[in-house]
Copies of this chain bind each other. A is one copy, B any other.
Amino acid sequence: MANHAISACAPDASIESYIRHYAQCIDISLKQALASSNAHPKLLEAMEYSLMAGGKRLRPILMIAAAESLGAELERIMPVACAVEMIHSYSLVHDDLPAMDDDDYRRGKLTNHKVYGEAMAILAGDGLLTHAFYMATLAAGSDAVSLQRLMLVIREMAALAGIAGMVAGQAADMEGEQGITSLEQLESIHLRKTGDLIVFALRAGGRLSGASEAQLKALESYGYGIGLAFQIQDDILDITGDPAKTGKAANSDERAGKVTYPYFLGMDESRRKMHELTESAKQAVQQAGLPDPQRLLQLADYLMQRDR
């Protein structure tokens, strides 16, 4: 991982600049990771198509912010930051498949299988998932403490992205298409499908930076809180957002027959809940004795106020 990919962001930069800065760092690191991978050419092209399709890089940025909240250096965590983005990307490629959500477009571009065919899209997803674990091992130090920390991080990555976490969320979502009937059910799917990987990112950034168990718990509460708030804002933007910014046609959820927070709670109550979740998330990190939680607090507000 070359150094230019990981310059620290200036402390007085706005949160927008902060996000832009680290999104660029991640983009560069991801490109380097793929370029040095010696992969099958067509497979690599399909993987790169989706990985470099202009994602927000939210999960790696949260990992970086968690590490910074403990005053840690970023160099160590960059391979794991790349790993979590690869996992996020694979999950989108597989979710878009005809047998799953059957989507033709994502972020205004054709989905992977529309460009490369279903077989290659399945393999591109498998490849991104597998390579995420390759990347994560590159964050290894040489002493027993840092090796043990990274081993736990890799285990949590597999757990939270896996069969009791993100993959379980997607499985429940597939089953739920036969009818999600309660807010609890909807929330349980979001917590697994979106929340778990966000929580992994935060805990990994914390653990690799020497967070205490109590601090890891606080980062976890923060993660589940902003994860749900993020989802509610997604649902709200689908109804009220500017399609030119969100990249989705207005009311696409309703037309797709998807149940959402506004569907269960109405718009006002959804907004109230989103604010409440964001405030609790901020409180969790404020009370955890983190040396510098500023960026985590700003990110929580930013995510709730975004318009895309």
Tell me the A residues contacting B by CB distance below 8 Å: 37-40, 42-44, 47, 90, 94, 97, 99-100, 117-120, 122-123, 125-127, 129-131, 133-134, 137-138, 140, 142-144, 147-148, 150-152, 154-155, 157-159, 161-164, 167-168, 170-172, 174-175
What's the minimum C-beta distance from A121 to chain B, rounded to whole angstroms?
8
B43 touches A167 (CB 8 A): yes
- Given A40-B164, A40-B168, A154-B154, 16 additional A-B pairs, CB 8 A: A38-B164, A40-B167, A90-B126, A94-B123, A99-B118, A99-B119, A126-B129, A127-B162, A127-B163, A127-B168, A129-B130, A131-B162, A137-B154, A142-B144, A142-B148, A143-B144
B164 touches A123 (CB 8 A): no
B129 touches A163 (CB 8 A): no
A147 touches B137 (CB 8 A): no
Copies in the complex: 2
What's the minimum C-beta distance from A145 to chain B, rounded to whole angstroms?
9
B133 touches A133 (CB 8 A): yes
B127 touches A174 (CB 8 A): no
Give the interface centre of A38, A39, A42, A133 by most chain B CB atoms within 10 Å.
A133
7 closest cross-chain pairs (CB), A and B: A99-B118, A134-B158, A40-B168, A39-B163, A130-B162, A147-B147, A137-B155
